[in-house]
Amino acid sequence: MTTTPEAAEPAYQPPAPEADEDIQHSLFGEILDWMLAPLLLLWPMSIAITYLVAKSIANQPFDHALEDSVTVLAQQVRAVDGKILQGLSGSARDILRADDIDNVYFQIQGPRGEHIDGDRDMPQPQDEDDASAGTVRFRNDSMHGTPVRIAYAWVQLDRTRTDQPQLALVQVAETLEKRAQLANAIIKGVILPQFIVLPIVLALVWFALARGLSPLAALQERIRARSSDDLSPIAPRQVPEEITPLVRSLNEMLARLSLTIDMQKRFIADAAHQMRTPLAGMRMQSELALRQTDQDEIHRSLQQLAKSSEAATRLVNQLLALARAENQPQRGTALLPVDLGELARSAVQDWVQASFAHRIDLGYEPPAAPVAIPGNPTMLRELLSNLIDNALRYTPAGGSVTVRVRSDAEHVYLEVEDTGPGIAPAERERVFERFYRILGNTAEGSGLGLAIVREIAQQHGAEVDIFSNPRAQPPKLPGALFRLSFPLPPAPPDEDSEPPHYG
């Protein structure tokens, strides 16, 4: 059976290489690399510099010997009756050439370049125009294809004539074998110990790094030995000074985590306590309805059961809304432009029927111009619904609730005012706590609405303030005014405006 191209197995695709930022690096290896890499790079440079220094050191004594040979040879050259003579005997010539390692050459030339004595094929110096008597100079050259070191000097033959001095050239050349042997001996004396010292240095560096990083391993073991519920701070004195900031940051994180866990535990305990009351009421009403035989009594029990279930449902919804608000992204992220006036108008429309049921005048005052803020529309609607619900529950029949949006140069304000009993100044901070309810209030509620309002406001960078209703008329109820102040976002730059010029 043949396989169609569509049914063929796809070719293997190798996995994409990991990004550098996703690869875990070893601190030990990183420090070791930064210490050893320069060392291994500098070692060849050290060998090269040592070789150059060794050659310079090896040249000095042999150059002095060549200089002495040129000086002695120059002293034997003189002019007699215009004829150049040299008093170098055959034995002296043999001593000059006596060397069991290097070849030594010499040459004497007259003022006109005529050959006087020595080797005829020695190379000539390049600085004849700058000839001056009495100075021994050195140069590197070659003879018969072999590198040599040459010392040479110009000898004045007739010292009585200073206008046109007659200069003879004296040269002594030597091959470089002895110099190379001495340079190699110096290099061996310097480099060979390094082959012994370098492994010792590497071992000491390895040991020092392992020793220096051992407190990190000890800290790791202490953290691993902790129980899962141990969030106590780590003692900074038990760690090196360099990682003390890291330990402090860990302690701050542990403190925040401990506070969060405590808040969650308290929230769960409070939620369980609050749920117990409506659930107990529902159970009692259902048991009572089961024992009743009168239809009217059964109907009243079912009505109470419906109220208890409604209260339980509202409590669960508020708990979920609070959990949602607490798990929203931090301020400044995941926010969209929201027309606060349009959102408030839509939210007020949702509560019109409820205001009719409470016989309360629910009104809305729009802003003079559309205002937009960065926000989460769902969360902002939840915030405003809790404020309206709270105002309707505490305002007596015949009262009024007004929702207002306005702005100035720096803020956008969302206000909800009512003509209810108001909130005493001493209680205005505590009403935002979870499950807190002012003593003496008979209105139904769970104490979560304003906690949700504060949490959502903090997520949007807004401030919540409570005042007495300035429009309430004594001796009536003072009412309450909830004001949320949203900072206006910075205005976008004007595209038509010219960029500023500097200078």
Range scoring the smallest mean pLDDT among 53-57, 383-387, 435-439: 435-439
pLDDT at 130: 65
SS3 413: strand
CATH of domain 242-321: 1.10.287.130
Q: Say which residue, 26 or 221, is predicted with more confidence.
A: 221
Q: What would the pLDDT profile of 77-96 be if each residue is shown by its tens digit?
A: 777 666 666 656 665 566 56
Tell me: pLDDT of 281 over 80.
no
Q: Say which residue, 133 or 402, is predicted with more confidence.
A: 402
Tell me: pLDDT of 413 over 90.
yes
Average pLDDT, the chain: 78
The fraction of the chain above a pLDDT of 90, given in percent, is 10
Non-local (6+) Cβ contacts of 201 within 8 A are 39
- The answer to whether the peptide bond before residue 475 is cis (omega within 30 degrees of 0) is yes
Whether residue 445 contacts residue 437, with contact meaning beta carbons closer than 8 Å, is answered with: yes
pLDDT at 468: 87
Whether residue 377 contacts residue 490, with contact meaning beta carbons closer than 8 Å, is answered with: no
pLDDT at 365: 92
Question: What DSSP element (H or E) covers 481?
Answer: strand 480-487
Indicate the domain borders of the chain: 25-225, 242-321, 330-487
pLDDT at 501: 47
Q: What would the pLDDT profile of 20-42 be if each residue is shown by its tens digit?
A: 555 556 777 777 777 777 877 87
Mean pLDDT, residues 276-298 taken together: 77
| Phi, psi (rounded to 5 degrees) for 226 | -75, 155
Tell me: pLDDT of 1 over 70.
no
Mean pLDDT, residues 272-276 taken together: 67
What CA–CA distance (Å, rounded) separates 120 from 113?
A: 11
Q: Domain 330-487, what architecture?
A: 2-Layer Sandwich (3.30)
Question: What DSSP element (H or E) covers 407?
Answer: strand 400-407
Beta bridge partners of 155: 168
Range scoring the smallest mean pLDDT among 46-50, 257-261, 306-310, 351-355: 306-310
Whether residue 285 contacts residue 301, with contact meaning beta carbons closer than 8 Å, is answered with: yes
Tell me: pLDDT of 364 over 90.
yes
Tell me: pLDDT of 458 over 80.
yes
Output the CA angle 273-282-275, nearest 5 degrees. Answer: 15
Question: What DSSP element (H or E) covers 103?
Answer: none
Tell me: pLDDT of 442 over 70.
no
SS3 415: strand
Q: How confident is the model at residue 2 (pLDDT cuts 50, 70, 90)?
A: very low
Q: Say which residue, 367 or 237, is predicted with more confidence.
A: 367
Range scoring the smallest mean pLDDT among 83-87, 115-119, 339-343: 83-87
| Phi, psi (rounded to 5 degrees) for 230 | -90, 105
Beta bridge partners of 107: 118, 171
pLDDT at 344: 92
What CA–CA distance (Å, rounded) separates 46 from 59?
A: 20
Q: In the sheet that 480-487 helps form, which strands lie side by side, from edge to edge?
A: 361-365, 400-407, 411-418, 480-487, 463-467
CA of 341: how far to CAs of 348, 435, 468, in Å?
11, 30, 23
Q: How confident is the model at residue 331 (pLDDT cuts 50, 70, 90)?
A: very low
User: For the chain, how big is the Rg over CA atoms in Å?
Assistant: 51
